[in-house]
Amino acid sequence: MKRFLIAATLSLTLVACASGPRGPRFGKIEPIANPSAVIAAELAFARLAQEKGQWTAFRATAADGAEMFVPHRVKAADWLKGRAEPAVAVKWQPHAVWSSCDGTYAVTRGGWESPNASGSFATIWQRQKNGALKWIADMSLTADGPASAPEMIAARVAECKIRPAPPPVIAVADSDWQTGASADGTLRWGTGATASGGRRILVSLWNGTTYEAVLDHSAPATGAPR
């Protein structure tokens, strides 16, 4: 898979600095988006998988209560406990990131490859009280070939100036559909798995007028987690 240009990280840093007004501090962490930090966390996650082992990396970077889709929804801590490492760890890299205005949550999308399969993934990241980023949900989506990697990592931050109104509730039939949102409500998501193991993630970003669907990925019942 392609290596990304250093300029991608630089451009993300600029986005972070210009991502909206600086509000009052909560704890010691200022509520401001930093998509470059999210990309760095995803890259470090992928690097740790190669250096220490795939499931070791998942355990080390998961937030309390994190969930995986394997393909059904499971508690990551339970599913990962004592799990043997694969002979060859999956390789992956991020292609895009969407962040709430306050930076409390972000979503990454990217591509992964293993010796026998490839596809895309989506990960929801949560900023911890100490400023560290941990993932709270991870969903792998298989494909016929490796996901196409862009030359630059795309980054987008929600609109900050207008307070968003609550969006309509979305219900997905025959699915354990669950929803979540950033502290400021500018980033919202839904995840679900069907009884047969089909999976879907839907991410919406506040654009100042409405919630815009920026990611809507589905996967059939077949497939294994990255």
Model pLDDT for residues 156-206, shown as the tens digit of each residue: 999 998 878 776 666 676 789 999 999 999 999 999 999 988 999 999 999
Residue 225 belongs to a domain: no
Q: pLDDT tens digits for 108-167?
A: 999 999 988 889 999 999 999 999 999 999 999 877 666 678 889 999 999 998 878 776
Domain contains 226: no
Query: What is the distance between the alpha carbons of residues 214 and 83, in angstroms, rounded to a whole number?
Result: 34
Joined together, the tokens standing for residue 120 give 């895309």
Assigned domain for 224 exists = no
The CA distance from 55 to 90, in Å, is 10
**Of 15, 152, 41, 12, residue with least CA distance to 95:** 152
- Residue 8 in this model has a pLDDT that exceeds 50: no
Tell whether the model's pLDDT for residue 10 goes beyond 50. no
Closest of 217, 215, 170, 218 to residue 194, by C-alpha: 218
The CATH number of whichever domain residue 32 belongs to comes to 3.10.450.50
Q: Give the predicted TM-score (pTM) of the model.
A: 0.85
Split into its structural domains, the chain has a count of: 1
pLDDT confidence of residue 1 = 43
Supply the DSSP symbol for 96: E
Going edge to edge, which strands form the sheet with 133-143?
Answer: 73-75, 62-69, 133-143, 118-127, 105-113, 91-99, 154-157
Q: Report if residue 1 sits inside a domain.
A: no
Residue 149 domain boundaries: 6-219
Q: Calculate the average pLDDT of the chain.
A: 85
Looking at the domain assignment, is residue 175 inside a domain? yes
How many Cβ atoms sit within 10 Å of the Cβ of residue 120? 21
Q: Residue 84: inside a domain, yes or no?
A: yes
